[in-house]
A = this chain, B = another copy of it.
Amino acid sequence: MATHDGEIERRLAELGVELDETPLDNGRFLRAQRAGDLVYTSGSVSSRGDAIYKGRIGRDLSIEDGRAAARVSAIRCLEGIRALIGDLDNVVQIIKLVGIVNGDDDFSAPHEVVHGATDFLVEVFGPRGQHARTTFVGRPPSNHAVEIELVVQVKGETEV
């Protein structure tokens, strides 16, 4: 088991976040996959331990709930990236975030919900966390409130 004592892990601890060790392979697909210096995560839904955010924003959940859900999804993305590359200090830049928000039929503020993921990533990575972003209302798996995927630039190269 790797020890996780780098700069980003310390910063996460300051924010009260301890990442879980998760297998890269969930039995069917991978939590993250790499091409050269780009890592693509799977869409990560808003459940982690006791923090389970399901339902539609505007009907079952508030925008504040949604921001907390987006943060949970972002944490799960980082767990997937760590399972692949081992050390989050090797993240060069968060490049792109896509956020899918489960909304009531008239809900139209997915961007306000996804701020919960964006702000968290910038808190953790600083300027290296600043990304381009797409958000829309759709329906994530298992009626989760939020689903987040990332494209991240990392150090080094895969062997092909």
Chain A residues in contact with chain B, CB under 8 A? 25, 28-38, 40-43, 80, 92-98, 100, 103, 107-111, 115, 118-119, 130-143, 147, 149, 151, 153, 155, 160
Contacts and interface: CB of A to CB of B under 8 A. Distances in A.
Copy count, this protein chain:
3
Contact of A132 (B32, B139, B140, B160): B32
Given A28-B119, A108-B142, A130 B96 contact: no
B33 A35 contact: no
Given A33-B96, A41-B132, A109-B142, 17 more contacts: A29-B118, A29-B132, A29-B133, A33-B95, A33-B130, A35-B37, A35-B95, A35-B151, A36-B37, A42-B132, A42-B134, A100-B136, A103-B139, A108-B143, A111-B141, A132-B149, A136-B147
Nearest to A34: B95
A24 to B, nearest CB: 9
A29 B131 contact: yes
B93 A35 contact: yes
A26 to B, nearest CB: 9
A32 B132 CA distance: 5
Contacts of A133: 29-30, 42-43
Q: Which of A25, A29, A30, A108 has the most CB of B within 10 A?
A: A29
